[in-house]
Structure 1
Amino acid sequence: MKLHGDHILLISNFIIYISLTLTGAVAGYYLAQKLRPIQKEQKEIENKLVETQKELSDYQQKVADHFRNTSKDASNLSKNFESLLEQLASGALQLANTDISRQILNSSSNKTGDAGFHLSENIKPPKDYAPKVPGGVLNEKYGLDETKDSINNPANSDSPYVTESDDDPTLNIN
């Protein structure tokens, strides 16, 4: 009898182990299926990132090539323009009278490279329209609540620009 009871206990343990193994396998399968789309999404995002980086690199190369070609073309244009001016001057010297020829020679020897750009001599720095009173809008403490009388109450200030009736220092623009 004892042998028969141990045998039943062994079989029941075996059945429990097999059922737990099958349950774990099924749970593992479903868990793997759930995680697989996340990995697939990550792979797609990585592929998109690599593709975007390649497109950016290609675009940057195209921009660099464009500016390099534009620079060459501008240089060639400048050389062709100088050649055209020399040809026109040479033709004018041959075809014009001597007074005009001298004027052309003098103007070509006085070239400054400015291409006719003249700066005005009346250039002045911009004016500062900020109020010259304590607590103005350019003051670091403007708008902050402080207990200093000169900031909170500009009428107590020693400034000649502030009068007793001034409430807002930004209105005192001189």
Structure 2
Amino acid sequence: MHSTSVLILVGVLGLAAGALLAFLATRNRQNADRTQELELSLKEANTKLEDFQQQVNEHFDQTAQLVHNLTQSYREVHEYLANSAIRLSNQDIGRQMLEAGSGELSDSHENLSVLPPRDWAPKAPGEKGTLSEEFGLEKDPIAPREEVASR
């Protein structure tokens, strides 16, 4: 009997050990599958990020090219207008336009007659200014309403 009970006990222990090993093997396999899924989703996310970064770089490259083209077109228009001004009007004005387009400032400031903006209107001495409350109002003697109604 002793040998039968030992044999049953060894069989039960073997069965439990086999079940435990099978459980651990399937668990490790599930973890490996999850790891592979996570690695695959990480690769997809990295690919999407790289694509997005490439699109952003292309966007800024194209924007820079368009701004450069716009600047060049502005320069061409400005030069055309300046050359036309030289041909059609006073040559000094045309030269000033060319100098302004090149970014250089004119050294001769005496030709410029620029006045600062005024926040007041010119007036003759003794007159009311345009900001005065009485400006433009003439005081005519008006008859009281009762007199107007009786007429």
Matched residue, 2:50: 57
In 2 relative to 1, CA 70–60 (structure 1 residues): closer, same or farther, beyond 3 Å?
Answer: same
The CA deviation at 1:82 is 0.7
Trace 1:7-86 onto structure 2 (pairs within 5 A).
9-86=2-79
Q: Percent identity?
A: 25
Partner Cα separation in structure 2 for residue 59 and residue 68 of structure 1: 14
2:86 is the counterpart of 1:93: yes
Q: CA separation in 2, counterparts of 1:78 and 1:50? A: 42
Q: Deviations over 1:11-58 (max 9, x none)?
A: 543443333212211222233334443333333222222221221122
Q: Which runs of 5+ in 1 are unaligned?
A: 1-7, 115-174
Q: Tell me how large the CA RMSD over aligned residues is.
A: 2.6
Identify unmatched segments of 5+ residues in structure 2.
Answer: 105-151
Matches of 2:102 and 2:76, distance apart in 1? 17
Q: Could you say which residue in structure 2 is the equivalent of 1:121? A: none
Q: What's the secondary structure of 1:86's corresponding residue?
A: helix
Aligned residues: 104
TM-score normalised by L of structure 2: 0.54
**Normalization by structure 1: what TM-score?**
0.48
**How far apart are the structure 1 equivalents of 2:100 and 2:23?**
88
Q: Distance in 2 between matches of 1:68 and 1:110?
A: 29
Q: 1:51 to 1:33 in 2, by over 3 A?
A: same
Relative to 1, partners in 2 of residues 1:82 and 1:24: Cα closer, same or farther, differing over 3 Å? same
**Structure 1 CA distance for aligned equivalents of residues 35 and 96 of structure 2:** 74
Report which stretch shifted further, 29-38 or 70-79: 29-38
For residue 9 of structure 1, report the CA deviation from its aligned partner: 4.5
Q: What residue is the counterpart of 1:104 in the other structure?
A: 94
1:75 and 1:107 mapped to 2: Cα distance? 21
Which residue identity is paired with 2:58?
A: D
Aligned residue type for 1:45? L
Q: Provide the rounded CA distance (Å) in 1 between the counterparts of 2:101 and 2:36.
A: 65
Equivalent AA in structure 1 for residue 65 of structure 2 = K
State which structure, 1 or 2, has the greater radius of gyration over its C-alpha atoms.
2
